Structure formats: C-alpha cells, structure tokens
Structure 1
Amino acid sequence: MRNILLSFFLLFGLSATSMAQTIDWGNSGKQKRMKSDTIAKKILGPAKYIATYAYTYVRDAADPNSKRHGETILEIGDRYNRFGDRYRLSFDSIYDEGAQRQITVMETTSQLLPLLRKEKFMENIIWDKKTNKEIIQRTAGLTQLYQYDENCPKLNWQLLEGDTIINGYKCNKAKTSLFGRDYVAWYAPEITMPYGPYKFNGLPGLVLRVTDTQNQFDFLLNGFQKVNGPRPIYLWSEKEIIKTNRKTVRQIYKNYCADPAGALTSTDVIVPEETKATVFAKPYNPMELE
C-alpha cells in the first residue's frame, strides 16, 4: 500500500501531507469499504471559535512570481488552539464520514482528491495554553509523519502607528521577528483574543493579517465565527508517527528538496531509472529560516 501511495505522490506531485492516509487506490476499490475510525486521533477539547485565513507563499525565493495559494484555519478553544490547513481538516472530516457510513473507497476518493491538490500548509500546530508549549505534526517531503514539541516562541511585538480596515474590523499595526524573518501584522482590538495564524500570538486583539517584509509569506483573514455544534481540536495519533525534534525535521525536508528521487529510493519503493530522470530538485524556501 505504501509503495502505491509514494509512487502516486511522485508521479502526480500531490501535497506530501495528503499521502498520510491509507486509501486503497487499487483495482478493487469499487468493492472495498473503508473501516470505521480510520483516522486515529487524540481529541484534546472542543473549538469555540474558528478563523480562516487565505495563505499565500512564494515557492521559490529566486522567483517572486512563483506564488502559491491555500487556505488555513485557526481553531480556538479554552485550553488548546490548533492551526493547520483547511483542506486537510476537510479531508479528515470527509474520510471519517465515509468510514462511518461505509461508503466505498472509490466513491469517497472522488471527493478527497480535489482536497489533496489544494492542500498547501504542511504543519498541524497545537498550542497548549496551560503549559505554553506547542506540538507540531508534519511531513517532510514524503508520507512519513513527524512530531515534535517545543516552547512557544516569545514574540517581541512593537506596536506601530497606522490603522486599516480588514473584513470590516478596524486594525492596528505591529511588527515582530520570528525564525529569521521580519513581519508586519494587523490586529483587531475589538476581537479581544490574543491569537493569530501560525505562531503569531500575543497582540491585544486577533491578528487579521500578517506578512513578512520580503512579501514571501502572507496570512489574510477571510472569515471569523463562533462554532455551532461539535468541532473537536485533535492530534493525529497514528502508530507510525516518528517523535523527534525541529532541527531533524528541517534537515529531512531540506534533503528531500535537494534530492526528491533519492528520498523516495531511501524507502522500500523501487523507482525506475527513467522516472528518476524526470524528478528534479525542488525549491527550498521554508518559512522558518532559523
């Protein structure tokens, strides 16, 4: 199964995180039915509010026009916040629903593949506000899921003169630095939540937009609402998750970008030489430079 998924990823260039689910793409898909509870998860608590952000990033630092666009989501709970890719969460929801309803894999695949192609943000970030620690889950180029935890970064925000309107909210300006990049943020004091996309927390109001000063990464709020009904904040809990540290995951991803075919052949997948010849190095432009 893993061989099929890795080959599919290599040939069609789907998002790395999308390959973490064990979907059967085989010829018997029309007859197979997904088992219930196929996505292993640890539920941490309910979300009370959600904020969605358009996510824009420059794939290749040498080419400012190589922009890609995605959607991210911030789930806000009493103790935990979660930030991740909106389409990945939709993927999980549809996959679980299909499993519970015993819909055939082939039928569900028609809904899942478009979500995989839209997935752009590769991290699942849980913030435990009680301990002020973060748990990060992510892939690093292929299908393997990694997990590490660290203290939340302490951001040194500088409040600036200037204001603007975003989605009908009056916003004030601030700036900070994080992992080697400088950022300008706009926050809404009337939304009295000191949260924001990614790891941009600590301002006196919800962050509605944040952009690095080189215009390579941008998060822009396009929706904010109170949650109606159950919406769990959770960690993935597959047995195959490798627990490691941030430095190791960054290096694995850097190696993958330099040699994607080499990363694939380091697994148990056999890649034909003619296929290797068509796989080139990928741009390496991480949001975290340090």
Structure 2
Amino acid sequence: MSLPTPVPTDTLAKRVLDVERYRITYQMKHWPIPQDTFVVREYQYLLQVGELYQKFWPKRWQMADSIYDHEVVSKTANHATGRVHISERLEVDDPEVILRDLAAQTITTRITPLLNGTYEYSEPNAEIKWKLIEGDSIVAGYKCRQATTVFRGRRFFAWYAPEVELSTGPVRFAGLPGVLRLVCPRGGALHWASALCRPARAYLLHLRYPWGLSLRAGRARGDQGLRPHL
C-alpha cells in the first residue's frame, strides 16, 4: 500500500492519511480461560473512519500520542534525564494497528508482540459473507439486527445498527448495512462492543513511525504472538 510522505512535525514522526468523519469506541473483552469468567482482559479500541482510510487501534495508544505531542510542544517532558513520562505510562502491551485503505481495498496490520519486535504486512481486504438471522437486540441504545459469518475457521455473530449508515466495524469486520455494535465468536470467550459513535471534528487520521524498532514484514512471522482467534 502506498502511503503519503511524512508531514513535517516537531513531535511524533507521522504519515497524515485522512481526516476523521466518525470515531467509534469499542470495548474489547477476552476470557483466556472460557470456563473461568472471573479472569477477563479488557481493552478499549478506537475506530477512526475517514473518506479514504479507516484505522483501528488501542485508545490508550492514541492518548499516549496526544499527551506526547503536548509534552513536546509545551516542553514539559524532561527527556534528558530518562525520566518516565506521563505518555509512557499509557502505552499498552502487544499493540495492534489495523489500517484499511478503502480505495485500494487492502488492509495493513502493524503488530508488536511482547519482546518479539514490530511487524507490518499488507493483504487484500477480506470479503466477509454475512447471513442475516433472527435475534434483534438493543445494543448501546440502538436497535440492532443480527448476522453471522465464518471467518478464518471460526463462527462469529454480530449485531449491527441500520440507522447508523456506516458499513464498518472492529478489527477486520465490515460489510453489513450499518455500523457493527457487537461482535463475538461462538462460545462467547471474546467480544467487541461499541460504547460510543460520534461525528469527529477534523481529527487527523495518521500512522506513526515506530520508535527504536525496525519493521519486519511478513504475515507468517507477524502472526507470532498474535491472539489466536484472528
């Protein structure tokens, strides 16, 4: 995928790709031991929706970027002493960024498995074939319809809101006539639920360069350390 050249900046090195139209917040819950419901991992992810690109990434990473930008501009961070900065405390383990190029119909994934480097690879946008089924529900205050699909060998269920005319959703899920509000696999050991969907106010949708790490391409190597469900 061909991305624009870097935009001059005195903060993080970035490629500015697009301007947001919508910003959707998803709450991800993962039960690594399905039989033990008390052991659960929770993360918040942002889905930034632009005209040309869509970006799905950890909300805390976006917060860290914003705080770091502010620190540099206001000169409040003491980089010379190696002190732990406010922004560093917001970094997450094993961050994953998924970037959709809507024109080229490709997806670029950048992952950083713990102690395993940073990987980036591009692949064609997956064509997900949904089947509408009975099971309407109310999710985050919206009346949603239910659909199901088999993706990479697993059965997933999704609830989408037709009144929000965005054919998109978390991770790689899209293709229904409405924004995806809830997605979960059979067994319910994992789910993504949207908590907020609102128009954005000219936030830049960007892809930052990794600091201190070299990118290594390749889907096979990049899958090392990934969550096994996708």
The two structures have a TM-score, normalised by structure 2, of 0.86
Query: What are the within-5 Å matches in structure 2 for residues 93-172 of structure 1?
Result: 93-105=66-78, 109=84, 111-116=86-91, 119=92, 122-142=95-115, 144-172=117-145
Task: Provide the C-alpha distance between the structure 1 equivalents of 2:189 and 2:94, rounded to a whole number of angstroms.
Answer: 14
Task: Provide the C-alpha distance between the structure 2 equivalents of 1:180 and 1:105, rounded to a whole number of angstroms.
Answer: 49
Checking the alignment, whether the CA contact within 8 Å between 2:94 and 2:114 is kept in structure 1 is: no
Deviations 1:223-246 (A, max 9, x none): 010112x31111122474324111
- Partner of residue 229, structure 2: 287
Structure 2 residue 29 is the aligned partner of structure 1 residue 87? no
Structure 2 residue 208 is the aligned partner of structure 1 residue 236? yes
Q: 1:184/1:121 Cα in 2 relative to 1: closer, same or farther (>3 Å)?
A: farther
Alignment counterpart, residue 203 of structure 1, candidates 164, 176, 186? 176
Identity of aligned residues (%): 27
Cα offset for 1:133? Answer: 0.1
SS at match of 2:71: helix
Task: Provide the C-alpha distance between the structure 1 equivalents of 2:74 and 2:101, rounded to a whole number of angstroms.
Answer: 33
Off by >3 Å, runs of 4+ in structure 1: 59-65, 105-110, 238-241
Task: Provide the C-alpha distance between the structure 1 equivalents of 2:117 and 2:68, rounded to a whole number of angstroms.
Answer: 19
Q: 1:241/1:98 Cα in 2 relative to 1: closer, same or farther (>3 Å)?
A: same
Computing the radius of gyration from Cα coordinates, the structure with the larger value is 1
Q: 1:69/1:238 Cα in 2 relative to 1: closer, same or farther (>3 Å)?
A: closer
Task: Provide the C-alpha distance between the structure 1 equivalents of 2:44 and 2:93, rounded to a whole number of angstroms.
Answer: 8
Q: Going by fraction, where is strand more abundant, 1 or 2?
A: 2
Checking the alignment, whether the CA contact within 8 Å between 1:85 and 1:120 is kept in structure 2 is: no
Q: 1:192/1:108 Cα in 2 relative to 1: closer, same or farther (>3 Å)?
A: farther
Cα offset for 1:37? Answer: 3.4
Checking the alignment, whether the CA contact within 8 Å between 2:93 and 2:114 is kept in structure 1 is: no
Count of matched residue positions in the alignment of Structure 1 and Structure 2: 219
Alignment counterpart, residue 191 of structure 2, candidates 189, 199, 218? 218
Cα offset for 1:181? Answer: 2.1
Cα offset for 1:180? Answer: 2.7
Cα offset for 1:102? Answer: 1.1
* Long gaps (5+) in structure 1: 1-35, 255-284
